[in-house]
């Protein structure tokens, strides 16, 4: 393995801490801004103005941009200039709600970006410094490799939110392996940045309440039209473009195992209920290997002892993988079979394997002796039979 590949492996194997306040704050942002934050946390410091400053090397930037050649300048330009590309890292904004004190704050996360000599330097809002560095409590540990693997910004947001909620519930109740989260559709879309407040004072006032009326917020959002940026108004569109894709990504690429179902009022979906577990803690069902129990052997012996020895019954049972139903069906099929059968045990085994009892066609080895008259047994005394024939 090359040195560069090893360095990349080392970086991706790292975990990083993120404040639960940052994770659970409503806001908008891009997938790339989230990934830059995650990588930047590996190499950051606090400057003289109490701003967190993160530096990201060109090799790491190429991985994030999936660029193997050419200049990084164009990528950085698109990242910073809204006139070139509609969504930039400066649009990562967070909304903090202090319900106890009736306070709400909105902050732009990234305040400055400098790209020089192949290195990107990001400066974060100094209001957020204590929420980014020196975290002693109220944080969630996230995997850098898992964060970088996710393509959708909604998958990234759900990964952080679900991991934070699961870890919190696990800390409270040690023995849980799954937790349940419920959101109204409006609340969830606000959390994911799909709906934005657009500076609306009514929405701001409603969110400041201890228990916001999300139905009322939804009505205001509808009246705002395009200004609210509600791209997925219909649940079926939201489900197809956001929820189902996030489920696929999270379950495939992260430690999170997520499932969900709509919460309905009549036929209308009004919210979403999520079921969250950790893959490494999900108990895989232990496959019970079938065995020939004494009870099963007794049952089969009572059924077939007139035509088969105990040893033969064991063989037949093993062929059926100890499925009593299969054996009974095959035996009944044999007893009612109208054509001659030359070898009963072979007939039974073949019948079980090919499930003749479920088909119209007959086994290929039908022979002349009628089974209803005589069963071929391997305990016939052939010497005695030869002697009788010679005497006659």
Asked if pLDDT for residue 364 goes beyond 60, the answer is no
**Whether residue 240 is found in the same domain as residue 379:** no
The larger pLDDT score, comparing residue 134 to residue 126, is at: 126
Tens digits of per-residue pLDDT, 170-206? 888 777 788 999 999 988 988 888 887 766 788 878 8
Domain extent for 333: 294-391
How far apart CA 18 and CA 20 sit, in angstroms, is 6
What is the model's pLDDT at position 253? 92
How far apart CA 155 and CA 157 sit, in angstroms, is 5
What is the model's pLDDT at position 242? 93
**Whether residue 76 is found in the same domain as residue 110:** yes
- Indicate the DSSP class of residue 89: G
Residue 105 · residue 121 · CB < 8 Å: no
Total structural domains in the chain? 3
For position 280, which CATH number holds? 1.10.10.10
Q: Is residue 223 part of a domain?
A: no
**Whether residue 175 is found in the same domain as residue 141:** no
**Whether residue 315 is found in the same domain as residue 259:** no
pTM, whole model, 2 decimals?
Answer: 0.62
The larger pLDDT score, comparing residue 356 to residue 64, is at: 356
**Whether residue 140 is found in the same domain as residue 9:** yes
What is the model's pLDDT at position 75? 79
How far apart CA 279 and CA 258 sit, in angstroms, is 9
How far apart CA 253 and CA 251 sit, in angstroms, is 6
Task: Tell which of 269, 286, 303 closes a domain.
Answer: 286
**Whether residue 55 is found in the same domain as residue 80:** yes
Interstrand relation of 268-278 and 178-184 (parallel, antiparallel or unpaired): antiparallel
**Whether residue 121 is found in the same domain as residue 168:** no
Q: Is residue 45 part of a domain?
A: yes
Beta carbons within 8 Å of 207's beta carbon, 6+ residues apart: 26, 95, 97, 104, 197, 217
Tens digits of per-residue pLDDT, 135-165? 878 888 888 888 888 888 899 999 999 999 9
The CA-CA-CA angle for residues 373, 376, 328, to 5°, reads 80
Asked if pLDDT for residue 166 goes beyond 80, the answer is yes
Task: Tell which of 253, 286, 319 closes a domain.
Answer: 286
**Whether residue 3 is found in the same domain as residue 144:** yes
Highest mean pLDDT among 23-27, 56-60, 311-315: 311-315
**Whether residue 139 is found in the same domain as residue 160:** no
Asked if pLDDT for residue 358 goes beyond 50, the answer is yes
**Whether residue 93 is found in the same domain as residue 180:** no
E strand map for the chain: 15-19, 26-28, 44-46, 52-56, 93-98, 103-108, 110-116, 119-124, 139-143, 178-184, 256-265, 268-278
**Whether residue 155 is found in the same domain as residue 134:** no
Closest by Cα among 53, 55, 50, 54 to 130: 50
Task: Tell which of 261, 286, 311 closes a domain.
Answer: 286
Average pLDDT for residues 343-360, to the nearest whole number? 86
Q: Checking phi first, is residue 212 left (phi over 0); if not, alpha (psi -120 to 50) or beta?
A: beta
**Whether residue 98 is found in the same domain as residue 172:** no
Q: Is residue 362 part of a domain?
A: yes
The larger pLDDT score, comparing residue 228 to residue 317, is at: 317
């Amino acid at each position: 393995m090359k040195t560069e590949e090893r360095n990349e492996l080392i970086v991706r194997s790292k975990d990083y801490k993120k404040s639960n306040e940052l994770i659970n704050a409503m806001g908008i942002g891009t997938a790339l801004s989230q990934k830059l934050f995650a990588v930047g946390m590996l190499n950051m410091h606090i400057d003289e103005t109490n701003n967190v400053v993160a530096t990201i090397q060109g090799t790491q930037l190429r991985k994030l941009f999936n660029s193997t050649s050419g200049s990084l300048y164009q990528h950085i330009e698109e990242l910073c200039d809204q006139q070139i590309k509609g969504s930039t890292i400066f649009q990562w904004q967070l909304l903090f709600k202090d319900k106890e004190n009736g306070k709400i704050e909105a902050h732009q996360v990234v305040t400055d970006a400098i790209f020089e000599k192949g290195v990107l330097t990001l400066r974060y809002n100094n209001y957020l410094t204590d929420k980014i560095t020196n975290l002693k409590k109220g944080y969630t540990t996230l995997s850098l490799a898992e964060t970088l693997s996710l393509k959708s910004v909604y998958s990234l947001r759900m990964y952080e939110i679900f991991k934070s909620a699961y870890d919190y519930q696990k800390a409270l109740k040690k023995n849980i392996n799954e937790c349940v989260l419920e959101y109204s559709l409006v609340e969830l879309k606000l959390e994911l940045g799909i709906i934005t407040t657009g500076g609306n004072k009514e929405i701001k006032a409603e969110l400041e309440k201890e228990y916001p009326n999300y139905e009322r917020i939804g009505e205001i959002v509808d009246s705002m039209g395009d200004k609210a940026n509600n791209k997925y108004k219909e649940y079926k569109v939201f489900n197809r473009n956001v929820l189902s894709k996030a489920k696929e990504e999270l379950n495939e690429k992260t430690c999170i195992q997520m499932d969900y179902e709509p919460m309905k009022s009549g036929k209308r979906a009004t919210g979403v209920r999520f079921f969250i577990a950790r893959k490494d803690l999900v108990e895989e069902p232990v496959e019970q290997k079938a065995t020939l129990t004494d009870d099963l052997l007794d049952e089969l012996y009572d059924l077939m002892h007139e035509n088969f020895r105990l040893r033969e019954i064991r063989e037949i049972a093993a062929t059926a993988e100890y499925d009593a139903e299969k054996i009974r069906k095959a035996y009944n099929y044999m007893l009612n079979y109208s054509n001659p059968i030359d070898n009963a045990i072979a007939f039974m085994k073949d019948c079980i394997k090919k499930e003749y009892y479920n088909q119209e066609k007959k086994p290929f080895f039908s022979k002349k002796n009628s089974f209803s008259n005589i069963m071929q047994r391997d305990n016939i005394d052939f010497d005695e039979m030869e002697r009788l024939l010679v005497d006659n």
